[in-house]
Amino acid sequence: MKRRTHRAPRPEKICPVCGRPFAWRKKWARDWARVVYCSERCRRRRRAARRSPS
């Protein structure tokens, strides 16, 4: 039986639209510095979030 090795914790960011934390994904490896939103849905809703009075 193989033993699992412990992985280093992945970096996280907070989505400015929904406020949820999201972790690094291999898909974002090249662009992690530019990733701001957790999903396409939040990216599309960014304008609505800016307009709403909070």
Residue 40: count other Cβ atoms within 10 Å of its Cβ.
8
CA distances from 46 to 16, 31, 54 (A): 8, 19, 14
Q: Give the model's pLDDT for residue 3.
A: 79
Q: What is the pLDDT of residues 1-54, one digit of tens each?
A: 777 777 888 899 999 999 999 999 999 999 999 999 999 999 999 877 566 565
Q: Give the model's pLDDT for residue 24.
A: 93
Sign of the CA dihedral with 45 first, then 47, 51, and 54 last: positive
Instruction: Tell whether pTM > 0.85.
Output: no
Q: Give the model's pLDDT for residue 9.
A: 82
Q: Give the model's pLDDT for residue 5.
A: 79
